[in-house]
């Protein structure tokens, strides 16, 4: 009997069912079956792991140490985090500034990109190409911020100062980037100016892939105005680009360190535009405290992941 059943089993092997295995066994089996695909992914994953995942993990490790890049790290547990949250006034300023930056530039630049893309998309193709270039150009080179530095130079020969003085609106030149009143607003304006970047391009691309017949169908179905068209046809079709754009602008808005450094110097006056990025840079390079700086980086990393999850949630509501 038992022999028979064994034989029967051998003759017609029972198909392996998903439920017979643990999750890991199943995955392993599937991987073996599709090994070619994995082989093809391998180069990317190697690079990704070595240059992206590993540094993140390493940085998380270093955040638990005192480390100055020259001597061996010294394990100190969560001391760095305690100090960061409880004994670092400047970090609090940096967090505040970063959130002001992110909350203003993130959504504004996102919607700016979206609406600019939407308007530009209405133009005839040739003009569209030219206008796209004009809007995209500022984000092409980071060094472009230099012209803002010239415009808002603290010298009385700076453009803004010179014009204001000529119009007798001010008596002495304003130190735009050395005055708390001006640093933040100006940096935000310049950040917005450079923010029409990759997300803007992807929106334009996305807009152009939407088939015409969907609009026609929507018109038949009773769409009454352009807003409804945008909400029910255009945006749902662009979900992928919207998500991409959102991730990009979140990352960007948390990373506006360089623009501020270019404009207001490093560190900015009274830390008026000191962001988490700057704080990280300050400790990582100037003060040789890589451990502490890694702790800052870890916090920033967590904040960014949180923001991305939030935006993902919001975007799932589009078109509903």
Partner 1 sequence: MGNSKLMRMIAFTVSVAMISGAALGAFASPVMAASTSGGNSATAEAIERLSDDTWSEYAARYGSYPNYTGEPIVIQAADADQSTLPDGAEVLEELDGKTNVLYLPDEGTVTWKVTVPESGLYAIDLSYYPIESKMSDIERTLRINGEVPFSEVRNLIMTKRWAEDLSEVTVVRDENGNITGIEYDKDASGNDRRPSKIETPEWMDYTVSDPTGYYNNEFYFYLEAGENTISLQAQKEPMVLDTITLRERESNITYAEYQAMNEAAGYTKAEDFSIFLEAEYSSATSSATIYPQNDKSSAINSPQSAKDSLINVIGGNSNSYTWSNLGQWIEWTFVIPEGKAGLYTIGTRYLQSASEGLFVSRRLYLDGEVPFEEANNLEFMYASGWATGTLNDGETEFEFYLSEGEHTIRLEVNYGHLADLIAEVNDCVTRINEIYIKILQISGSDPDPYMDYSYYKRIPDEISEMGVLAQRLYAVSEQMQELSGQSSSSTATIENVARTLEKMAKDSERQIAKNFTQLKSYIGNLGTWINGLSQQSLILDYFVIQPAGGEMPRADANFFESAWYEIQMFFYSFFEDEASLASAVEGEDIVTVEVWTTASREYTQIIRSLIDENFADENPGISINLKLVAAGTLLPATFSGVGPDVMMDVTASDAMNYAVRGATLDVNHYEGFDELYGYFHESAWVPTTVALGSPDGEIAVYGIPQTQNFNVMFYRTDIFAELGLDVPTTWDEFNAILPILSSQNYLVGIGKSTERPSVFNTFIYQNGGELYSNNGTTISFDEDVTLDAFTRFCAFYTTYNFPLTYDAPNRFRTGEMPLFIGDYITNYNQFTVFAPEIKGLWGFTAIPGTVHDDGTVNNSAASTVTYAVIMRDAASRGTDEAGFQFIKWWMGSEIQGQYANELVALLGPAGKYATANMDAFNNMSWSANEIREIENIFDNLVGVPEMPGSYIITRYVEFAVLNVYNYDYVPSEALMDYTQTINSEFERKREELNREFFIPIR
- Give kind and range of the element (H or E) at residue 297: helix 290-315
CB of residue 67 vs partner 1: minimum separation in angstroms? Answer: 10
Residue 175 touches partner 1, criterion: CB under 8 A: yes
How many residues bind partner 1, per CB under 8 A? 25
Query: Can you name the residues that pair with 65 across neighbouring β-strands?
Result: 75
The residue count for the chain: 320
Residues 200 to 239 in contact with partner 1, rule: CB under 8 A = none
Residue 258 touches partner 1, criterion: CB under 8 A: no
Query: What mask of x and - would describe binding to partner 1 in positions 19 to 48, judged by CB under 8 A?
Result: ------------------------------
Residue 180 touches partner 1, criterion: CB under 8 A: yes
Residue 155 touches partner 1, criterion: CB under 8 A: yes
Contact indicator for 311, 251 with CB cutoff of 8 Å: no
Residue 157 touches partner 1, criterion: CB under 8 A: yes
- Give kind and range of the element (H or E) at residue 66: strand 65-66
Q: Which one of the spans 10-18, 166-174, 192-200, 300-308 is the region binding partner 1 (CB under 8 A)?
A: 166-174
Q: Which one of the spans 32-40, 116-124, 216-224, 283-291 is the region binding partner 1 (CB under 8 A)?
A: 283-291
Q: Which one of the spans 47-55, 226-234, 280-288, 301-309 is the region binding partner 1 (CB under 8 A)?
A: 280-288
Contact indicator for 210, 121 with CB cutoff of 8 Å: no
Residue 169 touches partner 1, criterion: CB under 8 A: no
**Cβ nearer to partner 1, comparing 121 with 179:** 179
Residue 66 touches partner 1, criterion: CB under 8 A: yes
**Cβ nearer to partner 1, comparing 27 with 156:** 156
Cβ contacts of 272 within 8 Å, gap of 6 or more: 97, 180, 183, 184, 264
> How many CB atoms within 10 Å of residue 7?
9
Q: Provide the 8-state DSSP code for 184.
A: H
Rounded CA-CA distance 320/310 in Å is 17
Residue 121 touches partner 1, criterion: CB under 8 A: no
**Cβ nearer to partner 1, comparing 39 with 172:** 172
Over its C-alpha atoms, the chain yields an Rg (Å, rounded) of 27
**Cβ nearer to partner 1, comparing 64 with 248:** 64
Contact indicator for 192, 105 with CB cutoff of 8 Å: yes
H helices of 12-151, where?
A: 23-33, 35-48, 54-62, 79-86, 89-121, 125-140, 146-151
Cβ contacts of 28 within 8 Å, gap of 6 or more: none
CB of residue 285 vs partner 1: minimum separation in angstroms? Answer: 9
Among 116, 179, 258, 308, binds partner 1 (CB under 8 A): 179
Positions in the binding site for partner 1 (CB under 8 A) = 66, 68-71, 153-157, 166, 172-173, 175, 178-180, 265, 267, 269-270, 286-289
């Amino acid at each position: 009997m038992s022999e028979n059943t064994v034989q029967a089993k051998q003759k017609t092997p029972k198909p392996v069912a998903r439920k017979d295995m643990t999750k890991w066994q199943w995955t392993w089996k599937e991987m073996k079956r599709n090994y070619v695909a994995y082989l093809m992914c391998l180069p990317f994953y190697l690079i990704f792991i070595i240059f992206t995942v590993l540094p993140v993990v390493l940085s998380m490790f270093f955040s638990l140490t005192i480390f100055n890049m020259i001597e061996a790290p010294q394990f100190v547990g969560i001391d760095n985090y305690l100090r960061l949250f409880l004994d670092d006034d400047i970090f609090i300023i940096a967090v505040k500034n970063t959130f002001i930056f992110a909350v203003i530039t993130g959504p504004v630049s996102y919607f700016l990109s979206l609406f600019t893309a939407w308007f530009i998309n209405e133009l005839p193709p040739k003009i569209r190409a030219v206008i796209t270039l004009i809007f995209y150009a500022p984000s092409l080179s980071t060094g472009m911020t230099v012209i803002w530095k010239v415009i808002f130079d603290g010298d009385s020969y700076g453009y803004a100062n010179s014009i204001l003085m000529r119009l007798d609106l001010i008596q002495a030149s304003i130190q735009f980037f050395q005055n708390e009143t001006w640093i933040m607003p100006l940096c935000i304006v310049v950040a917005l100016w450079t923010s029409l970047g990759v997300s803007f391009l992807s929106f334009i691309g996305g807009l152009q892939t939407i088939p015409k017949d969907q609009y026609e169908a929507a018109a038949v179905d009773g769409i009454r105005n352009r807003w409804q068209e945008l909400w029910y046809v255009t945006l749902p079709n662009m979900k992928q680009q919207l998500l991409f754009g959102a991730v990009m602008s979140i990352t960007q808005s948390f990373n506006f360190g360089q623009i501020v450094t270019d404009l207001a110097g490093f560190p900015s006056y009274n830390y008026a535009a000191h962001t988490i990025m700057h704080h990280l840079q300050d400790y990582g390079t100037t003060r040789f405290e890589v451990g502490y700086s890694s702790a800052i980086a870890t916090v920033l990393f967590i904040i960014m992941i949180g923001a991305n999850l939030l935006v993902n949630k919001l975007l799932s509501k589009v078109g509903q």
